[in-house]
Structure 1
């Protein structure tokens, strides 16, 4: 009796379920030429398109040839505009096809020369669109006309189905004050407001609230762009005259995420919070290094925040606070800061405050920084338990700051967090002798399970790898950056041969090699079994991904 189940034995419902987990290109590649039954099923399913920057032109043409008959079935589209051997992919797709039933659309605009006129016209007609995202990398710029047209098209969209928008490109939104009120059902909005200091400020949020008055979840990023020739000037900002009796009151906003990379004042933040009387969750990120002394004092004064919340957001139940500033003399009094935020520690369970404090003058001599290094680090660690229960900390990320990495900072912090298992730092800091050879940290190194040391133009030298596996014998996941592809292969050999619990590794390299290496499944199996025995690895779970900048290996 034949008990084998064939693909053709599966019911249509199972095929529908399977196809809903696959992307259109995979479906067309694997199933489009099988038989009439499968072709019939393909006429009835929903398609999800994902075009990554790793795809090739031949794949896009193959996909497009099938979309000629199936474009109306596409409900989600995520597309990079530039692939390996072609650009302007978004315009190409929308010129060839009409995605009339599109519900989710994500554009990754990494090509500044793309013209989006036809794309914008088609998006304007999509009456089933639920979410629309545009993401522009920092190093690319969309042309100004397209940014203006995209913004107007999306924010003035009258479709009742549109719920979520993300506009992540450099734009000042000055023209939004000319829009009429949007009658859509938009409930989630994330946008980047970027421009010169005399055009963009926290007050730029006010026109947004006037137009999109049904929003519940708002995430705004404020960023100042400085002209290159004036990048070293200290720009003084004049706050606009605000009519306190004409503020847009957004009663439905319950979650507000504000990220500031620009000069601002506590007064401007208070005005925005006044517009959200029913706010429940407020997340505040401040990453502007240079601030005026008075604003720095207000920003880290818990009593100021307490008064502002009690006055304007009586229903606030969750407040996330992260701030980075530069403040010259007098030095920040950590005791004062901690004491002023005592109200929040008591009111909000598991509430954290993070303040990054480092040297403010790069020209300071190294000796003067070192002389205060231990005192400052110990003061920070002594104050931390008032804010956070350090035994609960299991993940630490040491950011790559100038004048940091002398070893003592790392020692004090790691010793204060006895249960940390996930560590991330720069390659330079990792190999620092004062850190890696510090005997008081050896026991902590041995409990680390996840380690990441990756940073552009920085790398772990190959002669350090033997010490690495000796110091961190319990690693299960590791990401490193080395110099060359040859160093990458050497690192893989060392890690596979010495870390018994290793489950995942990804090794980045800066310089490629003309000589390829057969980093195959059999090669990995042999390395692991030579070191740890036959049963150390399940060969069916091994997955290898290699490209021109990294080798990624998953062992389980």
Structure 2
């Protein structure tokens, strides 16, 4: 996670959002009279320059004419300098001709390597005259000068964002570096990345009458144990967002208790957490009183799969938690390891569903992943868009909306009643089948999975039929790819099983990512006759006629409920839509009453949505 809360501040302070919108509207109305770049207003140029590097602005525009020279050299235009790709002569020239004469205008500074940082401080001395410098990024260096650089930064009156990436030279104790960072008077955001550091031993004592840091967003892109993390957090009482790359186990036992008061902390992310649940639970109780969002990735220990323990922890100590992103990874060493069905069913209890938390179990060949996440938009409930083209009866209308519900509103509301997804990834079924379904059968019978996603190449037809047979509660099906299939070539046993499954399954939404031939769509129509929505990926314009023709032919016989179609068409444009209209008009000649009644077409980039009434 790399979110810098000061990013929005690094724009022109004198241009409000309202004014920018007015400027854009004015430009839209008057752009017909503008024939050259030089005719743009100063305000519009400011907005354009906001996206450019300060030295590139100076080099590209300052000598264009006297107006641009004055605009760049004598205005209050903020400058953002990025030295990540600049040579040594360019760096020296930029320091002398752009940065030093315009110290008061420098808004952000990015130094991207050891040599650049070293040479920059040869040519430029940072002090309080850089009175608008808000953001500094120092990355890719290993330098004994780090404490001296931080000493310079301490003089900056507006520095609110600091990002540091250090490589290990073991010259300084990281605790000393953190101590100086916490003394920066205006710092609100800090990201510290430590590369190749094995043992940090971070311990930052609190002195009497010490002034605490006002940091609100802290990213620790390095390993640290719970004691080290506690030591760091004891200096940041205003913290709101915390991200730690890897919380590690430690053999040392520290008996001292540090009281943490983090009454503003609402967002925590542990990208990797390797500590035991007992240790994590004890720590999180100290900081969780106001926690609203928690990202957590854990590994191996079975205690993390105790759903009742999670319920007690969240209910009693994290009462405001509304978004919980949890992934627990369990390695699979042999075929004797089975999914923990009891834990899956516990995690899908009323405790999670009333919070609108969904559960997903992933089988990734060598790893089982147990996941919890809050409600999110997926292909099988509804899709979101901002601006799209609506085509109806050959006419184009511009519309804006929050989202379209493929299914009815009542179904979306009720979708929170126990939604459980099974995702199968990375399997080579040519090797694993048929033993795979036998291995998974106890879990498939014990858990009421509602969504199935198979992200594997050429899923065997008979295995897919058997999986659906074992999961009678499925509502949606997503398949990456299928082998070339002809229904007449199926064995008698598979044909009978296909008929049985097609009669009994409740699947209403189907997504097929890689269509090769139309017979694969015919198979899915026979497999899921109750489908209401079909999504097909990687479609070419040449397939449109076959797909639409098959739907028109089967909509009154096999797929009576299908009323929504989504197609991914590469380089889709208005000509694609017009061709689709022509195909539909042709099909309606044969079925004038029922074929695509009152249809609408919506295009969002390469996605084409076709919807009609039954």
TM range (shorter): 0.5 to 0.7
226, 229, 249: which one pairs with 2:261? 249
> Which sits farther off after the overlay, 327-336 or 278-287?
327-336
Which residue number in structure 2 is paired with residue 515 of structure 1? none
Superposed displacement of residue 178, structure 1: 2.0
215, 235, 240: which one pairs with 1:216? 240
Which residue number in structure 2 is paired with residue 346 of structure 1? 353
Residues 9-48 of structure 1 correspond to what in structure 2 (within 5 A)?
9-42=39-72, 43=74, 44-48=76-80
User: 2:292 matched to 1:267?
Assistant: no
Which residue number in structure 1 is paired with residue 150 of structure 2? 120
User: 2:324 matched to 1:319?
Assistant: yes
Q: Distance in 1 between matches of 2:82 and 2:152?
A: 19
Long gaps (5+) in structure 2: 1-31, 368-428, 469-473, 487-509, 517-536, 542-566, 580-604, 608-614
Kept after mapping to 2: 8 A contact 1:23/1:50: yes
Q: Distance in 2 between matches of 1:132 and 1:318?
A: 28
- The count of aligned residue pairs is 402
- Pick closer, same or farther for the CA change 1:68–1:252 going to 2, 3 Å: closer
Which residue number in structure 2 is paired with residue 390 of structure 1? 451
Q: Distance in 2 between matches of 1:4 and 1:384?
A: 65
Q: Distance in 2 between matches of 1:166 and 1:27?
A: 28
Superposed displacement of residue 78, structure 1: 3.0
User: 2:424 matched to 1:373?
Assistant: no
- Pick closer, same or farther for the CA change 1:417–1:378 going to 2, 3 Å: farther
Q: Secondary structure at the match of 1:258?
A: strand
Kept after mapping to 2: 8 A contact 1:79/1:107: yes
Q: Distance in 2 between matches of 1:555 and 1:96?
A: 50
Superposed displacement of residue 48, structure 1: 1.2
Superposed displacement of residue 302, structure 1: 0.7
- Pick closer, same or farther for the CA change 1:373–1:420 going to 2, 3 Å: closer
Superposed displacement of residue 472, structure 1: 4.2
Superposed displacement of residue 89, structure 1: 1.1
Superposed displacement of residue 354, structure 1: 4.9
User: 2:206 matched to 1:145?
Assistant: no
Kept after mapping to 1: 8 A contact 2:144/2:171: no
Q: Distance in 1 between matches of 2:442 and 2:155?
A: 59
- Pick closer, same or farther for the CA change 1:336–1:349 going to 2, 3 Å: same
Q: Distance in 2 between matches of 1:417 and 1:71?
A: 61
Residues 453-492 of structure 1 correspond to what in structure 2 (within 5 A)?
472-474=538-540
Kept after mapping to 1: 8 A contact 2:458/2:482: no
TM-score between the two structures when normalised by the length of structure 2: 0.54
- Pick closer, same or farther for the CA change 1:397–1:47 going to 2, 3 Å: farther
Q: Secondary structure at the match of 2:203?
A: helix
Which residue number in structure 2 is paired with residue 192 of structure 1? 221
Kept after mapping to 2: 8 A contact 1:209/1:248: yes
Which residue number in structure 2 is paired with residue 176 of structure 1? 203
Q: Distance in 2 between matches of 1:114 and 1:212?
A: 26
The C-alpha deviation readout for 1:333-384, integer Å capped at 9, x for no partner, is 4321112212443232143455556447xxxxx9997674334456677778
TM-score between the two structures when normalised by the length of structure 1: 0.59
Q: Distance in 2 between matches of 1:443 and 1:284?
A: 29
Greater strand percent: which structure?
2
Kindly name which structure, 1 or 2, has the bigger radius of gyration based on alpha carbons. Answer: 2
The C-alpha deviation readout for 1:395-451, integer Å capped at 9, x for no partner, is x878xxxxxx89669x86998895759x7xxxxxxxxxxx674649x9823469xxx
> Which sits farther off after the overlay, 148-157 or 311-320?
148-157
Residues 538-553 of structure 1 correspond to what in structure 2 (within 5 A)?
none
User: 2:88 matched to 1:88?
Assistant: no
Q: Distance in 1 between matches of 2:311 and 2:432?
A: 34
Residues 516-527 of structure 1 correspond to what in structure 2 (within 5 A)?
none
- Pick closer, same or farther for the CA change 1:23–1:368 going to 2, 3 Å: closer
Superposed displacement of residue 168, structure 1: 2.1
Superposed displacement of residue 27, structure 1: 0.4
Q: Distance in 1 between matches of 2:455 and 2:103?
A: 45
Q: Distance in 2 between matches of 1:379 and 1:37?
A: 76
Q: Distance in 1 between matches of 2:142 and 2:117?
A: 12
Q: Secondary structure at the match of 2:331?
A: coil
Q: Distance in 2 between matches of 1:555 and 1:88?
A: 45
Kept after mapping to 2: 8 A contact 1:94/1:118: no
- Pick closer, same or farther for the CA change 1:254–1:368 going to 2, 3 Å: same
495, 500, 513: which one pairs with 1:445? 513
Which residue number in structure 2 is paired with residue 240 of structure 1? 253
Long gaps (5+) in structure 1: 82-86, 195-199, 225-235, 361-365, 399-404, 424-434, 449-470, 476-498, 505-531, 536-553
The C-alpha deviation readout for 1:429-485, integer Å capped at 9, x for no partner, is xxxxxx674649x9823469xxxxxxxxxxxxxxxxxxxxxx94459xxxxxxxxxx
